[in-house]
Amino acid sequence: MLKGYSYNIFDLNEIEEVNNLFSVPELLGFNVTIPYKEKIIDYLDDLSDEAKIIGAVNCVLIENGKKTGYNTDAFGFEKTLLLHKKPYQNSAIILGNGGAAKAIKYILDKNNIPSITVSRKTEISYENLDEKTVEDHKIIIQCTPVGTFPNVDDCLEFPFEGITKEHLIIDLIYNPNYTQFIIKASAKGAKTVNGYYMLEQQAEKAWEIWNFQKK
């Protein structure tokens, strides 16, 4: 533990309240969570290359008054994906279209993995996503907060019948360890992974960004 440093929770009711954070003279940076990963961009001075492409920020560095946004979710997800992906798992379905989903799409594109995004408003939605489409896409990434503690019994509407033992299911939620989505996918024989390793890896990247400032 570093003496003289702390990592605290700043609970905002509205994104505008971030201006109060920027007035804290000793603040070196902070992480950004749902639902502000996209909204925070309007309050920053600059973005890293990956944050510009993704259009979402989950890590902010404050250096000499300049506020720069980064996306370490992408780094954390890539570490998770490459650890578990098999060669035959070469196309993906992204569930959700928020800030986290944008980071996932960026990494899939980077690794030449074609994907489709499913949300309430996309052409392929939760209502019309069919079993065959799921069967044909061997990577499924659940990027919504549905099923997060304390609403652990909630689950996205999804055709689990299309999931096989050849599937890799990644749910970005890490609390609880096993969401209803993971439990139902696992029952079909799929390899399932929660978001804890991604959380650890994006945090390591954020620490690297903030630590660089102090040197």
Q: Catalytic residue positions? A: 37
Q: Distances in Å between the alpha carbon of 96 and those of 3, 44, 47, 121, 171?
A: 40, 25, 23, 10, 11
Residue from 174, 110, 116 nearest 140 by CA:
116
Q: How far apart are CA 82 and CA 139, in angstroms?
A: 12
As to burial, measured by CB atoms within 10 angstroms (0-12 exposed, 13-18 middle, 19+ buried), residue 169 is: buried
8 Å CB contact between 148 and 156: no
8 Å CB contact between 8 and 30: no
8 Å CB contact between 60 and 36: no
8 Å CB contact between 62 and 22: yes
Could you tell me how far CA 169 lies from the centroid of its own chain?
14
